[in-house]
Amino acid sequence: MAHCDKRLVLASASPRRRELMDRFGVEYEVIPALGEETADSGLPPEELVRALARHKAREVDDRLGDKNAVIVAADTVVEIDGEVLGKPGTPERAAEMLSRLSGRVHRVWSGVCVRCGGIERLHAEATAVRFRPLTDGEIAAYVATGEPLDKAGAYGYQSLASLFVDRIEGDFFNVVGLPLCALGQMLREFDISLL
């Protein structure tokens, strides 16, 4: 297991982000942000995800009050035609989103904030994702699994929706919710190595 002298905190309840962090063997705590994610919805996707990640990191930092804690927060959205698609929440909205993504290219944006002792580093990453054309039956079957309801853009690439993705251009892990290459670079600025 990698050794870290600092307290590393993942400010996310996402099981996918935990799985990604677990691959490095570094010790960390999970302390999810509790507040509702808020940012100006009129922001461009790149600025929106950075603002949401910063909000989460600051909220956890304020709660902890530990100046040696290195907090990692992230947020992910899907953008198509300039419109941000968050979590659908309802089966009907999920079906609408998937129909819109069918046969088209969209972008997955993840924002990351690493914060320690009031110092922040922010990053936004975009990955282009192309869905093959989907049938109404495929969309209905996928929505019926319940999987898309709590996922940005109404799908989880690492699960059943992997059957829909024709190709990607960019960081695969960004689509899962945490751009690992960028995160590794950011953590090095705080003297944490994932190797």
pLDDT of residue 36: 62
Model confidence band, residue 9 (pLDDT cutoffs 50, 70, 90)? very high
For 121, how many CA atoms within 13 A lie in the half-sphere containing its CB?
Answer: 14
pLDDT of residue 56: 96
Quote the CA–CA distance of 108 and 76 in Å, as a whole number. Answer: 7
pLDDT of residue 40: 65
Quote the CA–CA distance of 166 and 133 in Å, as a whole number. Answer: 9
Q: Under a CB-based contact definition with an 8 Å cutoff, are residues 56 and 30 in contact?
A: no
Which CATH number belongs to the domain containing residue 114 in this structure? 3.90.950.10
Q: Under a CB-based contact definition with an 8 Å cutoff, are residues 58 and 40 in contact?
A: no
Query: Is residue 157 one of the residues assigned to a domain?
Result: yes
Residues 169, 173, 179, 180, Cα dihedral to 10°: -120
Q: How far is CA 104 from CA 79, 85, 128, 130, 191, in A?
A: 12, 14, 10, 6, 41
Given the DSSP bridges, would you call strands 83-85 and 29-30 parallel, antiparallel or unpaired? Answer: unpaired
- The model carries a pTM of 0.90
- Residue 186 confidence (pLDDT) above 50: yes
pLDDT of residue 158: 86
- Residue 39 confidence (pLDDT) above 80: no
Domain count across the chain: 1
Quote the CA–CA distance of 89 and 70 in Å, as a whole number. Answer: 31
pLDDT of residue 5: 58
pLDDT tens readout for residues 141-180: 999 999 999 898 999 888 899 999 999 999 999 999 999 9
Which tokens sit at 12? Answer: 């996310």
Query: Is residue 15 one of the residues assigned to a domain?
Result: yes
pLDDT tens readout for residues 74-99: 999 999 999 999 889 999 999 999 99
- Of residues 45 and 5, the one with the higher pLDDT is 45
Query: Is residue 173 one of the residues assigned to a domain?
Result: yes
Query: Is residue 195 one of the residues assigned to a domain?
Result: no
Query: Is residue 32 one of the residues assigned to a domain?
Result: yes
Query: Is residue 1 one of the residues assigned to a domain?
Result: no
- Residue 2 confidence (pLDDT) above 50: no
> Catalytic residue at 75?
yes
- Residue 3 confidence (pLDDT) above 80: no
Burial 12-30 (b: 16+ CB within 10 A, else e): bebebbeebbeebebebee
Segments forming the whole domain that contains residue 43 = 7-188
Query: Is residue 193 one of the residues assigned to a domain?
Result: no
Query: Is residue 194 one of the residues assigned to a domain?
Result: no
List the beta bridge partners of residue 114: 72, 121
Mean of per-residue pLDDT scores for the chain? 92
Q: Which is catalytic among the residues 61, 66, 75, 191?
A: 75
